[in-house]
Structure 1
Amino acid sequence: MNKAITEGLVLMPPAFAAGLNVWSSGDGTPGSATYDGAPNAAIATADQDFGDCLELQKNAEPQKVRYMGQTPIQPGCYLRVTARVKAISGNLPNVRIAAFALNGAGNHVNGLVEIGPETTLTAYGEVVEVSAIIGSGNRGGVDMVWGTGVQNAHVGLDLTGNNGGVVRIDDLIVEDVTSVFLRDYLDWVDVRDYGAIGDGVTDDAAAFNAADAAANGRSVLVPAGTFHLGADVTFTNKVRFEGTVTMPTANRLTLVKNYELNSYVDAFGDELEAFKRAVAVLFNFSDHDSLDLNGRQVDITEPIDVQAAVGNKTTFSNRRVIRNGIISASASSNWDTDQVTSQATYAVSSNTTLTNVTNVANIQVGSLVEGLGVGREVYVRSKNVGAGTITLSQPLFDAVGTQTYTFKRFKYLLDFSGWDDLDRFVLADLDLRCAGQCSGVLIPPQGIIFTIRDCFFTGPKDRGISSHGNGCQGMQVDRCQFLSNEQAANVQDRVSIAMNCNANDVKIRDNRVVRFKHFAIIAGTGNIVSANHFFQGDATSQGLRDAGMVLTRTNVKSTLTANYIDNCWVEWTNEHDSAPEHSSESSFGALTLVGNIFFISNAAPWTRCFVIKPVGPGHFIHGLNVTGNTFKSSDGAIERVESVDTTFADLDYGRFRNVQWENNTYTGVTAFTGSPVMVQFDQSTNASTWNCDFSTYLPFGGRARNVDGFVAEGQIQNASNQRVTAMPYVQVEQGTNRNQINLVWPEACRGRVHVTGRVDNFI
C-alpha cells in the first residue's frame, strides 16, 4: 500500500531548482534562515549526474538542509528519505539523512532519534546515495522510530566533519515503503506501528489501544517480544499473540473477539496467570457470559482465590460460566490443611455465634469446626477479630458453655469464599482433578443458584463441594461424577465428603458418587434429590456401612426420588438444632422417598437403608412417605431396612402422624415393614380375644396405633363348629411395647383373618 497513491498524500519536497527559499539551513521551521541568496549555496545547472542540483559549501557543523514544508507522518506508514551526493572540492564531509519531528500543534517532539546512518565521502565526483527510514514502529530497518506522537516532519540531510568542502546534492526523494514491513497489510495491523516497543518496561497500553482502533475489523498482531501494559487494554478486534504481555494485577486485558483461555495463555505465557486474567475479565465485561477453557489442562500448585483474581468486586449477580477444561492440582505444600485449636464459648441465645474466641485472628473463614456437640459440616462463615467472635454456618446441638474447638481449613482448587455475594454462577464440563492433594470447590458465603453441572470431582482429599454459608441457596448439582480418593479404604476409615449445603431449595440430580464417607450433608429444606447413584461399600466381608445422605432438619420438606442408594443409608437427624429437644416446632416430617433402589451387599446384618437419629427427646414422625422403593440385600440378609438411632434420644412413637410406608419390595431382608400393612393371623384354638402381633411389620418397631380393616379368610367357627357371624371389635396398642392389636369376639372362636394395621394416626 502506498499512501501517496491511495490517499493522495504529498510526500516529495520540490526540486532545488524551484527555489532555495523553501530550503532552510536550520530545522526548517518558519522563520529559520534559508539558502535563498546564501553565499555558500547556489543552483548548479546541467550537472552530468544530477542535472539541475544544489551546490553547497560546508561552513557549519553540522551543515543542515531542511525542507520548510511539512511531510506527513502517520502511524503504520513508513517513509524512506533518499539523497544522492558527490564531493566537488575541498575537505570531504560525511553525509546523513536528517529530519525535525513535529506534533499536531507544530511543536518539536523531543527525545527522538532524528538522524540516519552516516556515510563518508571518499573521492571527488563519486556519486554516493544515503537514505533512512522514518516510521512509528520499532521494526527492523527503521532508523527513526517516532511512535504515534509525531504528525509531521521537516526532512533533509546533514553534512558533518571538516568545513570547507563543496558538494552537489540531487533532489531529495521521499517514498512510502510501508509494504516492505507489512506483508499482508489488509489482514492485520501490528502494534509496533502504533508505538509499541516490546521491551517489557515501556508502557505499550496506548499503542495497543491505538492499534485496535485502527484495525477496524482486521486482526491485530502482537509480535515477538514482551509488552508491558500499564493500563486496561480492550481489543474489539481479533488479536494474535506471538509475543507476551505483562500488566499490573489491577488492570485487565479484554479480548472481545477471542475471549477464551487459549488466547490468554498466548498473551501471558502461563496457564494459571492466563486463567486468573480471563476470570477477571469475565466479571468485568458484559459481552461474554462464559469463559471457555478450550479443553486445556491448567496445572496449579495453590488454591485459586476467584475473588482475588477479579479484585475489584465482592458482589456479582449476573450469570457467569467457566466451562470445558481441566483444573489439576500438582503436589505442593500449599495444599496442606491449616489447623487451629481455640477456646470459645457457646450459648443457645445466639446459636450461630462463638464468643470469647482465643486466637481468633488465626482462624480462617471457611474452616470446618470440630468439638463436642458440633454437628457434621459446620463451618466458619465469618469472624470479627476485634470482638473475638465467630459466626457459624449452623447452630451446635449440645455445646453450651466453654470448650476447646478445632478449626480445619481445607484448601480448594476453586475458592469463592472471598465473595460477599455471588449469584447465578455456573461451573460446567470441568474435570476438577484434586489428585488427593486438595478439595474441589468452596462456594461463596452468600448467593443464589450456584450451579455445577457435568463436572468430574476426581480424588478430593477432604471435600468435593463445601458450603460455609448460604451461597448454596437454590444450588443445582447436576450430572456430576464424584470419585473418591479413598476407593481402597474401608468405610469406617474414610473421611472425605462429596458435598454439603446449608440453605434451602437445593437440587441434586443425576450424579454418580463413588466411595466417600458421605455423599451429601443437607442442612436446608425444600430439596429435590433425584436419579443419583451413590455407593459406599468396600471389600470387607460383613463390612460396616455409613450414611450416604444426611438430612439435618426435622421438617425437611424434601423428596428423594429414583436414586440408586448403594451400600449406605439415608439418615435423618436434627444435629443442627441448638435446642434439639422437641418443644413447639414441627418434628420429623415432610419427607418423601419414592421409587428409589436401596442395595446392600456383603454387609453386617444390622445395616439399614433408612435411619432416623434424633439428638433430643420428644420428637416423632409427622409426614413421611416411603413408597415404591426396592430394598435388596445380597451376600447375606439384613435384619430390616429402617431403624431409629437412639444414641442421643428415641422417638415418641405415640405421636406418629401421617406415615405412608407401602408398595415397597424386599429381597434379602428379614423383616418386611409397612404402614398400612396387612398381616395374616391364624387362631388355631378357640378364644374370644385374638392377639395379633405387628412388632415385626411396623416401621421403626412403632406402635400399632390404628386398624384400617380386617377380613376373614374362610369361616370363623366356634367350639361347636358353627359359623360365627358377629363382628369383633379391636383394641390397639396392646402388649408391653404397644405393637399388638387385639380382636375381641363375642364368643370364643377360631379361624384366619387378614388385619391391616397402621403405625400412625392421620391427624
Structure 2
Amino acid sequence: MNKAITQGLVLMPPPFSAGLNLWSRADGRPGDGSYAAQPNAAYVPSDQDFGGCLELQKTTAIQKLRCFQQIPIQPGLYLRVTVKVKAISGALPTVRIGAWAGSGSGSNVTSADQQGPDVALTNYGTVVTISAIVGSGNRPGVDMVWGTAPAYGHFGLDLTGPTGGVVRVEDITIEDITSVFHADMFDWVDVRDYGAIGDGVTDDRAAFDAADTAAAGKTVVVSPGTYFIGSHLTFENPVRFEGTISMPGAQRLACTRNFNLDTYAAAFGSELLGFKKALQALFYFTDHVTLDLNGRRVEMTEPINVAALSGLTSFAIRRTLENGQLLASPGPAWNTQSVTAVATYAAANPQTLTGISNIAAIPVGARVSGTGVGREVYVRAKDIASNSLTLSQGLWAAAGTRTFTFQRYAYMLDFSGFTELSRFELRGIEFACGGVASAINLGVTGSVITIADCTFNKPKDRGITSIGEGCQDLHIDRCQFFSNEQGLPVQNRSTIVFNSNANDIKIRDNRVSRFAHFGVVAGSGGIFVGNHFFGGDDEAVGLRRAGVVLTLTNNKTFFTGNYIDNHFIELSNEHDAEPQYANEFSFGALTITGNIFISSHAQPGFGWIVVTPRGPGHFLYGLSVTGNVFHARAGNIDRAEVVDTSYATLAFNAFRNVTFESNTFTGVVQRASSPLLVEHTQNTAADTWAVDSSNLLPFGGRARNVTAIVAEGAITTAVGAVQSVMPYAQVEQGAGGQLANLKWPLAVKGRVQVTLRVDNPA
C-alpha cells in the first residue's frame, strides 16, 4: 500500500468465511438484505482452486454482491478491486466489478461510474480474474472514475446475462495502486485526481481549485486533455500544463508561482492567446509586477486593445512586460482607418472641432491633418451628442469650416483605451512591425511610462504615439528604431518615432535611423541625452528634415551628448491656435550643449538649429548653444542656425538671453557667436567707427549690445597724436541692424576688439 494516501484507512472487505451476513444482495447499504441463509448462496470451505469461497446461483437479471463495509476513498486515491470467478454449472453469465458510491451525507453519487468492464464466462471450471480500477481522476487505465464527491464505496460484483447459472467466487481484494498513477507522490498532484474531466465542455474549475489546495507546495499537473474553466482561476502552487485550458475572454488565469509566457502558452496551446491571457493577468496580480516572455516570439494577427483585454480603464501601479519579440503578421486588421469630414474650428476653443459631418465614423486616436494643422495632432475624445471632437493640440491656422482627414493607425499594443495608465514599463521587447503595424499607443493620461532596451523594426506609421497626456514623464532609454522607409529620400518619408503632449520626458541613449522625424514634442521640461538620430545622406545636395520638433515656445528642454546626423532641431509654434506673439513666452528656455552635429551632401541653406515661427512678433528668449561640434561634410553650408521664414520671421530687436559660444565649426561658412568678438581696424581717422558683425551673430541677428571695447595699441589722431579717450556705442545700426557705431569725441584711428551680443541679456 501507499501509506502517503492510505495510512489509517481499512480497504480490504471481510472474507466470505466471516459470514455471509456481511455481504449484501443489493447495494450494501444499511437495511439491504444479506446473503445469510439464502437458498442461492453458500460458503464452500474447500475448493480446489480457491480454498474457501462463495458459491452463488444467478436468480435475478442483475445478481448483485456488495460488501456492507464502507470502503473509504478520497481525492488522489486509486484502488484496484479484484475477484477470481469460475462457472460451475448452468447458463454462463457475464461478470463485472460493481459498486455503490456514497457521499459524505450518505446519498448515492450518481455521477460516479459504478460498474466495471463486463467479462463473459465462456466455459466451466476455468478461473477468470475480474478487476476494475476505481479512482478520482479520469486517467488512462481508470475503469470507474469517481471524481471528488464520493467519500466511500460498497464494492463487490454483478452477474448479468442469463439466469440459472452457478459460479464460485474467491474472496474479493482491494488494493491501493495510487503509486502507479503518481510517479513521485511528493512532487506533484494531478487535476484529474480531483475530478477534472478534460472534455472541453465540463467546467473543471472546482477540480483545479481542489488540486491546487491539496498541492501544498507541490506542482499541479494538468494532464493531457482540454479543460474548460468557466470563471477566474488562481494557482497558488507551481503548475505544469501537459493539456490545455479554455476560458471565457473576461475570465483570468493567475499562475502565481510561474508567471511567464512559457506557462501561459502551454496553458492555452497558443503563444498569442497565452500572451493575451498573461497580459490580462498582469494587471490583477499583487505579488507579481513583471511578465517575462522568456525570450519567445509572439506572432500577432491584430492589434491588442490592452484596456479592453484587462477590463480596466485606469491603472497606476508599476507593471513590467519584458524579454521577447512581438511580430506583426500581415492581415487586414492592421489597415489604417481613414475618414474625411467637414468640421469647424475656432481659436477660442483651441482643442475642439465642432459640427463634424460624420462624427460617428471618426475613431478616437485618429491623427488629424489638413490645412493649418500642425504635426502630430490626434483625436483625444469624441462626443457624438454635442457633435464635437477633443484634440490633443490646437491648430495654428485652421479657423472656420473646412475639410479634415482623420487617420487611425493600428498599434501592436494599444493602451489608448485607458483614461489613465501610469508606471507601466516595457523592457527588452522587440517590436517586429515589418511595415505592417505601428508599435505602441499610450493611454490618454498617465505618467512615468518607461520604454527601455527595446527594438522597433520598421513601424508602418508610428513607433510610440501619445493621443493625450499619457506621456507625462515618459522615459525612452537605450532603444533602437529602424525605419520602414530606409530607401526613401527624407522628403518622401512619413514615419515618426514618437510624439509627446506633456512635460518632463527623458529621451536617452537611443539609436534612430531614417525616419521623417525622431520626435514631435509639445511639452516642456524634456531631456535629450546621448541619442544618435540619423536622417540619411544618400542624395547629393539633398533636403533634410527635423529630427526633433519642439512645438511649445517656452519649452525648457535640454540637449546634451547627442549625435545629430543629417537632422536638425526645430522650434515651431505650430500647435498654437493664435500663433502671433501676444504678451506670452516666446521661443526659448532651450539648452543645446556638448552635441555633435553632422551633415553630408546637404543643401547650403541647411542648418542644424531651425526656428519656424508660425506668426509674427516672436523672438528668442533664453537660448544657450555652447560647446557643440558642427561639421558639414561633402559640401559647405551657410550657417549652423537658421530662421525658416515660410510663415513669419523673428523680431530680432527683442532677443533676450541668447548665448551661442565655444562651438567648433567645420564646413560652415558663417560661424555664429554671441557674444561675438570683432576686431575692427580704423585706418582713416573718424569720430564714428562702423563695427560690422558680418552676419556672424546667431540667426543673422542684430547687434543689440556692445559689452566690451578694448584698444589694441594706441588710439591716435590723423597726425599720430595719442589720445586717451573712450567711445560710446550706438547699437542696431545699418539696414539690418548688424552694425554697432563707436562714437569718439574726436576723429581718431586705430584698432579695437569689440564684443557684440545679439540680445539684451538683462
Both proteins in one fold, TM over 0.5:
yes
- The answer (yes or no) to whether the contact 1:99–1:114 under 8 Å persists in 2 is yes
Could you tell me which residue of structure 2 aligns to residue 302 of structure 1?
302
- The answer (yes or no) to whether the contact 2:111–2:146 under 8 Å persists in 1 is no
Q: 1:125-182, CA deviations, whole angstroms, 9 ceiling, x for partnerless residues?
A: 3332211111111122211111111111111111222222333222211111112222
Could you tell me which residue of structure 2 aligns to residue 133 of structure 1?
133
Counterparts of 1:4 and 1:296, CA distance in 2 = 40
Q: Which amino acid aligns with 1:137?
A: G
Provide the identity percentage: 56
Counterparts of 1:408 and 1:193, CA distance in 2 = 55
- The answer (yes or no) to whether the contact 2:537–2:600 under 8 Å persists in 1 is no
**1:293 deviation in Å?**
0.9
Counterparts of 1:672 and 1:90, CA distance in 2 = 121
Q: 1:544-590, CA deviations, whole angstroms, 9 ceiling, x for partnerless residues?
A: 11111110011111111111111111111111111111112211221
**1:666 deviation in Å?**
1.4
1:570 aligns with 2:533: no
Q: Which amino acid aligns with 1:374?
A: V
Within 5 Å, which residues of 2 pair with 1:17-166?
Answer: 17-166=17-166
Q: Which amino acid aligns with 1:341?
A: T
Could you tell me which residue of structure 2 aligns to residue 349 of structure 1?
348
1:679 aligns with 2:670: no
Q: Which amino acid aligns with 2:491?
A: Q
Q: Name which of structure 1's ranges 194-203 and 544-553 shifts more when overlaid on structure 2.
A: 194-203
Could you tell me which residue of structure 2 aligns to residue 373 of structure 1?
372
Counterparts of 2:120 and 2:456, CA distance in 1 = 73
1:728 aligns with 2:724: no
Within 5 Å, which residues of 2 pair with 1:206-245?
Answer: 206-245=206-245
Secondary structure of 2:761's aligned partner: coil
Counterparts of 1:466 and 1:242, CA distance in 2 = 40
Could you tell me which residue of structure 2 aligns to residue 694 of structure 1?
693
Counterparts of 1:270 and 1:165, CA distance in 2 = 57
Assess, with a 3 A threshold, how the Cα gap between structure 1 residues 256 and 5 changes in structure 2: closer, same or farther: closer
Secondary structure of 1:150's aligned partner: coil
Could you tell me which residue of structure 2 aligns to residue 703 of structure 1?
702
Could you tell me which residue of structure 2 aligns to residue 655 of structure 1?
654
Counterparts of 1:195 and 1:328, CA distance in 2 = 39
- The answer (yes or no) to whether the contact 1:4–1:10 under 8 Å persists in 2 is no
- The answer (yes or no) to whether the contact 1:609–1:641 under 8 Å persists in 2 is yes
Q: 1:495-530, CA deviations, whole angstroms, 9 ceiling, x for partnerless residues?
A: 111111000111111111111111110000111111
Q: Which amino acid aligns with 1:306?
A: V
**1:185 deviation in Å?**
2.8
Within 5 Å, which residues of 2 pair with 1:617-636?
Answer: 617-636=616-635
**1:372 deviation in Å?**
1.4
- The answer (yes or no) to whether the contact 1:488–1:538 under 8 Å persists in 2 is no
Could you tell me which residue of structure 2 aligns to residue 393 of structure 1?
392
Q: 1:34-73, CA deviations, whole angstroms, 9 ceiling, x for partnerless residues?
A: 1223232232223333333323222222111111121112
Secondary structure of 1:715's aligned partner: coil
Secondary structure of 1:576's aligned partner: coil
Assess, with a 3 A threshold, how the Cα gap between structure 1 residues 652 and 280 changes in structure 2: closer, same or farther: same
- The answer (yes or no) to whether the contact 2:439–2:456 under 8 Å persists in 1 is yes
Counterparts of 1:710 and 1:293, CA distance in 2 = 67
- The answer (yes or no) to whether the contact 1:695–1:702 under 8 Å persists in 2 is no
Q: 1:61-102, CA deviations, whole angstroms, 9 ceiling, x for partnerless residues?
A: 211111112111212211111122233333332222100011
Counterparts of 1:125 and 1:482, CA distance in 2 = 85
Counterparts of 1:299 and 1:85, CA distance in 2 = 60
Counterparts of 1:97 and 1:500, CA distance in 2 = 74
**1:4 deviation in Å?**
8.8
Within 5 Å, which residues of 2 pair with 1:287-686?
Answer: 287-310=287-310, 312-686=311-685
Q: Name which of structure 1's ranges 227-236 and 504-513 shifts more when overlaid on structure 2.
A: 227-236
Q: 1:610-662, CA deviations, whole angstroms, 9 ceiling, x for partnerless residues?
A: 11111111212121111111111111111111121122222222221111111
**1:5 deviation in Å?**
8.1
- The answer (yes or no) to whether the contact 1:116–1:132 under 8 Å persists in 2 is yes
**CA RMSD across the alignment:** 1.5
- The answer (yes or no) to whether the contact 1:639–1:670 under 8 Å persists in 2 is yes
**1:236 deviation in Å?**
2.0
Could you tell me which residue of structure 1 aligns to residue 175 of structure 2?
175
- The answer (yes or no) to whether the contact 1:16–1:53 under 8 Å persists in 2 is yes
**1:6 deviation in Å?**
5.1
Counterparts of 2:171 and 2:217, CA distance in 1 = 40
**1:288 deviation in Å?**
1.0
Secondary structure of 1:115's aligned partner: coil
- The answer (yes or no) to whether the contact 2:260–2:294 under 8 Å persists in 1 is yes
1:748 aligns with 2:742: no
Q: Which amino acid aligns with 2:73?
A: I
- The answer (yes or no) to whether the contact 1:4–1:11 under 8 Å persists in 2 is no
**1:603 deviation in Å?**
0.6
Assess, with a 3 A threshold, how the Cα gap between structure 1 residues 327 and 235 changes in structure 2: closer, same or farther: same
Secondary structure of 1:117's aligned partner: coil
Q: Name which of structure 1's ranges 85-94 and 69-78 shifts more when overlaid on structure 2.
A: 85-94
Q: Name which of structure 1's ranges 230-239 and 121-130 shifts more when overlaid on structure 2.
A: 121-130
1:205 aligns with 2:218: no
Counterparts of 1:730 and 1:5, CA distance in 2 = 104
- The answer (yes or no) to whether the contact 1:3–1:9 under 8 Å persists in 2 is no
Q: Which amino acid aligns with 2:108?
A: H
Q: 1:699-757, CA deviations, whole angstroms, 9 ceiling, x for partnerless residues?
A: 12222111111111122221111212211111111112212111112222221111001
Could you tell me which residue of structure 1 aligns to residue 194 of structure 2?
194
Counterparts of 2:174 and 2:668, CA distance in 1 = 99
Counterparts of 1:599 and 1:5, CA distance in 2 = 76
**1:3 deviation in Å?**
4.3
**1:695 deviation in Å?**
4.1
Q: Which amino acid aligns with 2:44?
A: A
Counterparts of 2:719 and 2:128, CA distance in 1 = 147
Q: 1:332-355, CA deviations, whole angstroms, 9 ceiling, x for partnerless residues?
A: 222221100001111122211111
Alignment size in residue pairs: 762
**1:266 deviation in Å?**
1.3
Counterparts of 1:285 and 1:522, CA distance in 2 = 34
